[in-house]
Amino acid sequence: MSEPVRMRTARTIVRLLDTDEAPLLQRYRVENRDHLRPWEPLRTESHYSLECCRLAIEAGLEAARADRGYPFAVLTPDGSEMIASFTFANVVRGVFQACHLGYGIAARHEGKGLMFEALDAGVRYAFGPLDFHRVMANHMPHNERSGRLLERLGFEREGYAKRYLKIDGLWEDHVLTAKVRTQG
């Protein structure tokens, strides 16, 4: 990536964080620790440290430079607060041109349409400048809110994977969905 990616939506700014913004990521992680726990892998205490956040941002910037992944932060318009995050991960090029989408939103911003707004912009970016053909997103069957969000974004169910990912210490089943670019 030659120039920084910056997407604007009606109520957010979506972009990669810089390493000096580690306090933003740390605050988001700490404030949403309990809220995000049921949807994430087990986290060590260090995950919530400023240094770990700085290292995560550094690794994310390197992943984006190498076209391996794109960890986006969803920020308030003034950039003072991280509202949510989403990542295009596991990038595969060549004949596949695909990635996996993962996302999460702060508890206090749920139910306002902000995740839809940010992901809508992000998916358009994925099919535009990033030139993906397929974006895959999976959710646990009991996460109905996530299922509805993906459906609203145009993702279609493609399958069901038993014991697919280890979430909060347990191997969880997942509904497999994808959105495929219609042109090109």
Q: How far is CA 90 from CA 68, 102, 177, in A?
A: 6, 10, 15
pLDDT at 184: 66
Q: In the structure encoding, which two tokens stand for residue 9, read together?
A: 């939506």
pLDDT at site 72: 98
Joined together, the tokens standing for residue 45 give 């205490």
Mean pLDDT value across the chain: 96
Per-residue model confidence (pLDDT) at position 33: 97
Residues 6+ apart with CB under 8 A from 87: 60, 69, 70, 71, 72, 101, 102, 103
In eight-state DSSP terms, residue 26 is H
Of residues 47 and 184, more confidently modeled: 47
Q: Which of 48-52, 67-71, 83-87, 180-184 has the lowest mean pLDDT?
A: 180-184
Residues 143-171, mean pLDDT to the nearest whole number: 97
The average pLDDT across 38-53 equals 97
